[in-house]
Amino acid sequence: MLNEEEQKAVTRYLDRYKIKNKSRWYRETIMKHILKMMEEDYPTLFNENEMRR
């Protein structure tokens, strides 16, 4: 799923922060991002411009 450069960056990160369980880290990182995006993109009754008035 990752190209060589991306994989190297992930490996360096995991080594630097001594993360042993790579699959858990991937799941938690991806889910945090998904949940954050869903929270920011929740449906509203009014659009953003109307709410800022």
Question: Over the stretch 6-32, which tens digit does the pLDDT of each residue have?
Answer: 999 999 999 999 999 999 999 999 999
| 3 state SS for the chain | CCCHHHHHHHHHHHHHCCCCCHHHHHHHHHHHHHHHHHHHCCCCCCCHHHHHC
d(CA 45, CA 25) in angstroms, rounded, equals 36
Report the domain count for the chain. 1
Q: How confident is the model at residue 1 (pLDDT cuts 50, 70, 90)?
A: confident
Task: Read off the pTM.
Answer: 0.68
Range of the domain at 31: 4-52
